[in-house]
Amino acid sequence: MGNKQTIFTAQQLDAYQENPFRQRIAEVFSEDGEGNMTLDDFLDMFSALSEMAPKDLKAYYAFKIYDFNNDDYICKADLEKTLNKLTRNELSADESRMVCEKVIDEADLDNDGRLSLEDFQHMIVRAPDFLSTFHIRI
Amino acid sequence: MSAVSEPLAITRPLHSSRRHKSARKTSRRIYSPYQDQQPGQSDEEDKEDERVDSNDPEEMFQNIQIQKEIIANIRTRPWPMRHKLKALKQAREIVLKYEGRLTRTRGYQAAGADLLKKLSRLLYNIVVLFIPWEMRIKKIESHFGSGVASYFIFLRWLFGINIVLTIMTGAFIVLPELLAGAPFGTTRSKTIPKEHLDSAQDLDTIWSLGGYLQYSVLFYGYYGRVRKIGSAGYRLPLAYFLVGMAVFAYSFIILLRKMAKNSRLSLASASNENYTFCWRVFCAWDYLIGNPEAAESKGAAIVNNIREAIVEEQEKKKDTSLAVLVSLRILANILVLLSLAGSIYIIYFVVDRSQKLEQEKPELTLWEKNEVSVVVSLITMIAPSAFELVAQLEMYHPRTSLRFQLARVLVLYLGNLYSLIIALLDKVNSMSSAVPGAVGNWSDSSSFQATIALPEEDSLATVAPEIPESPSSTVGVALQLNKSAPPVVLNQTALYEYNMRSQQDQCWETYVGQEMLKLSIIDMIFTVASILLIDFIRGLFVRYLSDCWCWDLESKFPEYGEFKIAENVLHLIYNQGMIWMGAFFSPCLPAFNVLKLIGLMYLRSWAVLTCNVPHQQVFRASRSNNFYLAMLLFMLFLCMLPTIFAIVRYRPSQHCGPFSGQEKIYDIISETIASDFPLWFSKVMSYATSPVVVLPALLLLFMLIYYLQAIARSLKFTNNQLRMQLQTERTEDKKKVFQLAAARLQGSESDKKVEQESDITSQESSIRSSSPRRNGSIANFESPARRGNSICTITQSASRLNVGRPGGAARSPSISDPQKHRIEQIPTRHPGYLGGTTGCRSKSYHHVAYNPCGRYTENVHSDPLFRKSVWPGHPDSLGLATAQSFCGRRSHTTRYVIVNEHEAHRKLLRSSARIPRHYRPGDLGDVVELYPRSVKKFAPRGPHRAHQPHLSEEEEEEEEEGAQSSRRGSLGHSCRPRSLLDICQPAPTSAHFYIGDKVDSQLSIAQDEPYEMLGDEGRKVDWEDTASHSLSQTNIPGVPSRHCEPQVKQKTKHKVAPSLTESDSASVASSSDPQNSSTDQYIQVIHSKEKYLKPSTKLTKKKSKASIDFNMSGSNELVCSNV
């Protein structure tokens, strides 16, 4: 691909959607990890978030999105970040801590105190509306 | 791809380095399902070069297949686009190249398939264009999420059903009647009475569906009773009846099919697994939402949802307000019941009143004409809001209150429809009884007219035969009179005309149809009005006046109208129920409903996009949900009942409609069969409908149903069992893995304990470690293939724990927990030990006693971890190995372990470091790197490590040397991870070097006799610092490890440090750290101890006992120091 590649910045994505994870999505799909996307990255994003994408692929990228510190595990800090983004910091510290504990308690199959990709996939593919909600349109 | 990946496995490592250039790419490796394929892919790129030359057609064909598979699956792989494109291009090239070489036709086939695919895609795109409102719904979906969109999808689906119904009624009833039936004005049932002719075009008449509308194809009464119409002899009455039934049949079939499909779709998610919190967090956000307001309300909904879950979790029961709450709820339910009863009464009253008014007044006002439907619509509008208010009183959980609300609204709608239809049918009865009286009055005026009126009276009376007042109401008479009536009609007085009118009004089917249509229209008007007023005007008001108002309109009182999905769906269902109920009496009702739904679609979507915000209480009913459909089915069934009842119970009107003159509506079937079919057919039918056939058929049906249900039940049962099996399998697997991990950690912990607490505890831990380990080893043994995996996971877990350790806060809470576990474990273990000796018990008690010490001292770090690691393993050990065989089997089992481990290690040793990637490239990443190091450096040092822990184990009273050896092995294991724990950050490396140790120990043990020699060697090494170490060892447990450091360090350091430096750069770093170095020293210390004790334990029981004593003393010392 020797073409000229335009860069799709995170700010543009910002303007596009009201998604609390938009920044994160841009980071996950961009090659530089900063949210600046080349055309390829952009295509990647939409192929993963399209309606046609298989469940496993979606689950994989969902995992990446929720894994804020890129350590291939969703740990408590990641969860708290996710929660805060979702709820716009409306939950008290106690509440969010409890939710995080419960989440890990429910999905952590190997008791390591954090969610690996397997744990996450196992949990997410059973969610009834994951497929219908985890996609975007232009 | 399995066939492919295997040969590729060999070449894979070569490309591994190049593959993972960027961090992002490496992270992708964890995507396990596709892992094998990714390396495979890159290999294929290279392999193609190799294969260019191969001319073996078989191979070529396979290659092509592989490439094709890649092309087909490329979309499902999580590679970056560039990679995908490259792979795709290459695969295509290869396919093209070789396929042509293979056969020409194949190439053409491929090209054809390609073309076909493109065409089908184009076709699909075109089809999408024709799906009504697809774009609109997508737009809504992308603004408001899938919940709101589901309403519109449901609406569209209903629209589709109504289209089919319209086509059915239109094509088979309305069109034939219009084309071939008697034209308007030719028969009495098709002419407007003279007196009404003047007002027939008035707006209010039309509005109330009278006048021209009443005498049109809209209603039942218009259709002729002629058996065959037109030149083709179309049997309209029969068609009318059959279509009326087909409407219900079609609705049922389509509904059930849809439900079955949906349930199949949602099968996967129907499991009872509990991920409430997970789903609420990870699936909460609807990525489609693009509208800021929708996002806001979605955010609020998520917060609500999570709070709700928290509350549920906590299950806070407020005892204080319980009485109040109960009374409030009772009150609320009473209120709801009252309002339901009130609504039913009002409807009944209104119908009654309208009937009276009709009798008393010749001319009715607009209000009086539409009273009934307006009242019904008003109730359906207002009552749900009232219910909502009442529900606030109840203070239920939001979700339960929503359910209550839905149930109540559904009951209300049903009650409305039912009370309406019952009142109407009742009115039909009473009307027919009232009219004769009126006729009687009139007939008094003139005798001539009276004679004419009399037959009318009779005929009217026959409409409702059950009324006793009618003097001579026999069917035969009525029919005769009817026949004689038409000639008389032509020249009659106004009085007679009036009678005629009332007679024609007796067409109760038309009347019911009129009422239903009226209701539908009024309902539509009210819906539009409510959308405009409640949503639009309010939205305008809120938006533009909020600036100059004294409070914030947008967030406080009026707010924006919410789009209540559940209520709206219910309303749709109610609407459809009306259609089903009235379709038989008004064949054009479905057509009207189609128009109504179209209007509703546009209006609603406009309203949603402009002035609504989604309901905060999100109602989860995605496309795959059967909730709407179940309600619709319920409604359909209940709406079919009155129609069927009317068809079966009531006699059709005598002067109008296709069934006039018949006793019952369904007589048309038997009549048709009798007259129009050949004789044999009617005979067959008469046989078929005789009880002799019907009863067995029914019986058969019941049996079939029962049988199918039984099958379904058994399938469900097996399904459940399989699921359970799956679950247990999974948990077992996890447990095993965890056990292995635990064993390692535990071992390390136990070592630590040796240093920190006392010999006894360490011994315990080692024992424990041996037991879980055994299980793990067994698992390995059973399935050698899995060995690699298990190993990886062990290391994973180990590293994981290390990561967890640094956080001090996280550690402390676990203390209390693990202790419990320990206590539990002790009793469970007893059975096993009882057979052997009592010494075990004392040991265990010691252990309990020492726990506190561990807690108080700084050993906290190690303690919780140790316990943690212990307990998960334990249950399994119990499960796998019976408790009784605990002692006896241990030796064997441990030996197995060793062998297994050994094998694994050997593998590792033999193969290059990368080989493990074959098992799990992604996961193993760090592990793999670690192994080689450890292997290299620590192999020589292994033996004595293995021996060290013996000290603790001596207490066990197992006589056999084998047992000892096994113990030793277990200790070796335990030693291994120890460093891992101690060195927080470079944990993985440390883990490895222990593994390396283990290898040696295993080796030693694997050869049963030789091991002693090895052990001796180890001892030799250790001999140097025996005495001093024994001393230091006693000190260590009581005093925090750091205090000990200085003492021990002096002696050991020279020894330890060099070895470490040799072994690992990471470990070197750790050794520089004071604490870490201290731990290393401890290890040394242990060695010495072990050495010290070993000689004693090795040969005889007595010696071991002595060692116990020694241990006891040690422990005592320990206690003292701690205190």
Give tens-digit pLDDT for B727-759. 787 677 767 766 777 777 666 655 544 444 444
Question: B207: which 2 tokens?
Answer: 């509005």
Identify the pLDDT of residue A10. 56
Would you say B565 and B619 are in contact if contact means Cβ atoms under 8 Å apart? yes
Would you say B925 and B19 are in contact if contact means Cβ atoms under 8 Å apart? no
Q: Which of A 74-113 lie inside 8 A of B, CB atoms? A: 79, 82-83, 86-88, 90-91, 95, 98-99, 102-103, 105-107, 109-113
Identify the pLDDT of residue B876. 39
Identify the pLDDT of residue B344. 84
B612, containing H or E segment: strand B612-614
CB contact under 8 A, B299 and A62: no
Identify the pLDDT of residue B798. 38
**pLDDT > 70? residue B90:** yes
**pLDDT > 80? residue A120:** yes
Provide the shortest C-alpha distance from residue B623 to chain A (in Å): 8
- Neighbouring CB atoms inside 10 A of B352's CB total 15
Inter-CA distances, B938 with B56, B587, B668, B942, Å: 49, 91, 98, 6
DSSP B1011-1023: HHHHHHHHHHHHH
Confidence of residue B1010 (pLDDT cuts 50, 70, 90): very low
Cα B1075 to chain centroid, rounded: 50
**pLDDT > 50? residue B239:** yes
CB contact under 8 A, A127 and B283: yes
Provide the shortest C-alpha distance from residue A57 to chain B (in Å): 6
Confidence of residue B210 (pLDDT cuts 50, 70, 90): confident
Sort out which chain B residues have CB atoms less than 8 A from A113's CB and list them: 800, 804, 810
CB contact under 8 A, B872 and A111: yes
Would you say B772 and B874 are in contact if contact means Cβ atoms under 8 Å apart? yes
Identify the pLDDT of residue B99. 65
CA–CA separation, B11 vs B44, rounded Å? Answer: 10
Task: Please tell me the pTM assigned to this model.
Answer: 0.55
Closest among B773, B768, B771, B783 to B729, alpha carbons compared: B783
Q: Which of B210-214, B289-293, B1002-1006 has the lowest mean pLDDT?
A: B1002-1006
CA–CA separation, B866 vs B769, rounded Å? Answer: 10
**pLDDT > 50? residue B794:** no
Comparing A107 with B933, the larger pLDDT belongs to: A107
% of residues, chain A, pLDDT over 70: 86
Choose the mutation target among A40, A50, A72, A89 for the interface with B, i.e. most B CBs under 10 Å: A72
CA–CA separation, B243 vs B245, rounded Å? Answer: 5
- Neighbouring CB atoms inside 10 A of B117's CB total 10
pLDDT digits (tens, 9 = 90+) for B21-34: 333 333 333 343 44
Would you say B340 and B415 are in contact if contact means Cβ atoms under 8 Å apart? yes
Compute the mean pLDDT over every residue in chain B, rounded to the nearest whole number.
Answer: 62
Whether chain A has a CB inside 8 Å of the CB on B281: the answer is yes
CA–CA separation, B526 vs B520, rounded Å? Answer: 10
Confidence of residue B165 (pLDDT cuts 50, 70, 90): very high
Question: B153: which 2 tokens?
Answer: 């999808």
Q: Which residues pair with B612 in a beta bridge?
A: B561
Closest among B511, B354, B496, B365 to B438, alpha carbons compared: B496
CA–CA separation, A136 vs B796, rounded Å? Answer: 35
Question: A110: which 2 tokens?
Answer: 């190997």
Choose the mutation target among B28, B81, B90 for the interface with A, i.e. most A CBs under 10 Å: B81
Of the ranges B234-238, B295-299, B958-962, B1014-1018, which is most confident? B234-238
Sort out which chain A residues have CB atoms less than 8 A from B294's CB and list them: 18
Sort out which chain A residues have CB atoms less than 8 A from B797's CB and list them: 110, 112
Closest among B199, B586, B544 to B365, alpha carbons compared: B199
Confidence of residue B506 (pLDDT cuts 50, 70, 90): low
Cα B3 to chain centroid, rounded: 35
Sort out which chain A residues have CB atoms less than 8 A from B285's CB and list them: 19-21, 86, 133
Reduce the DSSP state of residue B561 to 3 states and report it.
Answer: strand
CB contact under 8 A, B282 and A21: no
**pLDDT > 60? residue B609:** yes
Of the ranges A74-88, B389-403, B460-474, B841-855, which is most confident? A74-88
Query: Which residue among A56, A86, A120 places its CB closest to the CB of B285?
Result: A86
Sort out which chain A residues have CB atoms less than 8 A from B276's CB and list them: 102, 106
Q: Which residues pair with A37 in a beta bridge?
A: A8
ipTM of model? 0.84
Would you say B1041 and B1078 are in contact if contact means Cβ atoms under 8 Å apart? yes
**pLDDT > 60? residue B864:** no
Identify the pLDDT of residue B1003. 39
Comparing B904 with B100, the larger pLDDT belongs to: B100
Choose the mutation target among B277, B310, B871 for the interface with A, i.e. most A CBs under 10 Å: B277
Q: Which residues pair with A74 in a beta bridge?
A: A115
Size of interface A-B (CB pairs under 8 A): 184
What is the gyration radius of the CA atoms in chain B, in angstroms? 44
Inter-CA distances, B474 with B464, B480, B504, B663, Å: 11, 10, 20, 12
Query: One-letter amino acid identity for B285?
Result: W
Identify the pLDDT of residue B625. 64
Identify the pLDDT of residue B700. 95
Whether chain B has a CB inside 8 Å of the CB on A45: the answer is no
Cα dihedral value B475, B476, B481, B483, nearest 10: 110
CB contact under 8 A, A87 and B33: no
B438, containing H or E segment: helix B398-445
Give me the long-range contacts of B1048-1057 (CB less than 8 A, separation at least 24): B1048/B1078, B1048/B1081, B1048/B1082, B1048/B1084, B1048/B1085, B1049/B1077, B1049/B1078, B1049/B1081, B1051/B1025, B1051/B1084, B1052/B1025, B1052/B1080, B1052/B1081, B1052/B1084, B1052/B1085, B1053/B1077, B1053/B1081, B1055/B1024, B1055/B1025, B1055/B1084, B1056/B1080, B1056/B1081, B1056/B1083, B1056/B1084
Q: Where are the beta strands (DSSP E) in B464-588?
A: 561-563
CB contact under 8 A, A107 and B737: no
Of the ranges B220-224, B423-427, B956-960, B1102-1106, which is most confident? B220-224
pLDDT digits (tens, 9 = 90+) for B21-73: 333 333 333 343 444 444 444 444 444 444 444 566 677 777 777 777 777 77
CB contact under 8 A, A114 and B800: yes
Largest Cα span, chain A = 52
CB contact under 8 A, B282 and A41: no
Choose the mutation target among B30, B37, B287, B627 for the interface with A, i.e. most A CBs under 10 Å: B287
CB contact under 8 A, B290 and A18: yes
**pLDDT > 50? residue B613:** yes
CA–CA separation, B1017 vs B1002, rounded Å? Answer: 15
Choose the mutation target among A40, A84, A111, A136 for the interface with B, i.e. most B CBs under 10 Å: A111
**pLDDT > 80? residue B587:** yes
Q: Which of B 841-900 lie inside 8 A of A, CB atoms? A: 872
